[in-house]
Amino acid sequence: MVPPLIEFIADLFLLLAGSLLAGEAASRLGQPALVGQLLVGLLLGPTLVGPFIGLGGLGPEFTSIQFIATVFVLFVAGLEIIPEDIYRMGLGNLLLGVALFVVPLLASAGAITFLFPPEPFVTTLFIALTLSITALPVMGVMLVQFGLAKRASGKFLMNLALINEISAVTLFAILLQLSSGSEPAPVAVGTAIAALGGFLGLMFGLYFLVRHLERTRVWGILRARFSAEWRSKGAGFALLMVLLVGASLLSQALDLTYVVGAFYAGVLVTHKTAGPAAHRSISTVFDTISWAFFIPLFFAFVGVQMNLRLLDSPGLIAVLAALVGIAVLSKVVVGYLAGQIRGEGTSDALAIGFLCSSRGAVELAMAVILLQAGIFTPEIFTVVATVGLVTTIAAPVGAVWAWGRSPASRADLLRRVPILAKGSGWLGRLPEIAEWDGSPPAARADPAGSTPTAPTLPTVPSRSRRPPLPPPGTG
């Protein structure tokens, strides 16, 4: 019999090594790394080989690691939010971002009511919620991959995803309070809104207080004194972890769950509040720990907790197919209309819709919490995670197809990502312009008269305000 400690270390080795390798393979195929990491979990879990290698699920020894990994995933998502960006985006973008969340939420809730066996109303809303989130980190990665990160359309998409994710986390906290059943529904909702308002008031109040102090000499003196006097190594990162755990503890104590605290704690960390030098140092350490260890393991754990063997009836498979269709279609339609309102062409607006249909970290973190709380059954969890996996795979493929429908959009895409015309392992080969419609070779030159030749993906732009985005393809 294999000793339990050896078995635990062996399982951890398989999950970590497999998720890193599969993530790299997925990124080379133009997919977010989370796709490969989830598939590794599926391979090693109860769906395929888990019963033969003793990894039919996550044992208690992995529970603590999964909790920490979930906190890190949520914190990474929060790091992409800058409070000033919310105020600068304008009412129109704000409303479009809310619509990108609310329309899929209502469409999914209606479909679930008819498709699933009778579920409690709150459970139906939870399922719909997890199917309605556009992944902010995944969106950032795809914008880098498609050369849109610095364009106005890329910033527009990030704004939509930002509002979408904030709306989802806020509603999740309210629904969790409602699901406790300890108080009448109106009282529970009122209590949740009051607790959430107090928590957000405290967090954003601290942020703007630090921003105010940052403009004074006192803050600079205090920061310099701390740097000079503090003897312990990694003090900045240690304080970041104290902030993260403290915010998670406070939100959990308020019955808002640690999701809210971990997510909004990231909002407080900018190069303004921490100082440019400290921010760079903290970012380096945090990125290494998050993207090299906790985040790959998180998605591998989710894959292990999925069990496609449970979808053993034509009815469940039909439900899964219908939810995938609704999840994609609702996002594509709203994203397309948002692009049209913004003045994009038909192909570009359709590509925006497909990019908006990607899922990612936050909804899977919510699904894990709901599974652990007993609100989601293993069947529901598997359906939700599978919808997230399929829609994430479909997003970049659909966007390339949409751009390819218009000669002008296709030419612009090939200028941004010339490797698509080379067929060297990235979403296949997209034929050059002349091969599609007989356009003259000059059509392949950009307006400045230069023709791209370097077959490389766009590099991640440097961002002094936040920890840098993960390398292209990171989940």
Work out the widest C-alpha separation in the chain, in whole angstroms.
70
Residues 432/407, Cβ–Cβ less than 8 Å: no
Q: How far apart are the first and last CA of the chain?
A: 37
Nearest Cα to Cα of residue 181 among 121, 130, 112: 121
Which helix H or strand E contains 110, and what residues bound it?
helix 90-115
Q: Which residue has the tokens 């957000």?
A: 200
Q: What are 364's two structure tokens? A: 């899977």
Which pLDDT score is estimated for 382? 93
Amino acid 103: pLDDT? 92
Domains for the chain: give ranges and CATH numbers: 58-289+327-376 (1.20.1530.20), 406-411+418-464 (no CATH)
| CA dihedral over 296, 232, 265, 156, signed as positive or negative | negative
CA pair distance 184, 94, nearest whole angstrom:
32
In the chain (475 residues long), the average pLDDT of successive 10-residue segments reads 80 91 86 88 88 75 86 79 70 84 92 81 90 83 81 83 85 82 74 86 82 75 72 72 88 83 78 62 77 88 90 87 93 92 90 88 87 89 92 90 89 82 51 41 39 40 44 46
Stated pTM of the model = 0.78
What is the phi/psi pair of residue 119, to 5°?
Answer: -120, 150
3-class SS of residue 176 = helix
The token duo for 445 is 């030159």
CA distance 336 to 391: 16
What long-range pairs does 434-441 form, CB within 8 A, spacing at least 24?
A: 436/404, 436/407, 436/410, 437/407, 439/407
Question: How far apart are alpha carbons 265 and 204 in whole angstroms?
Answer: 10
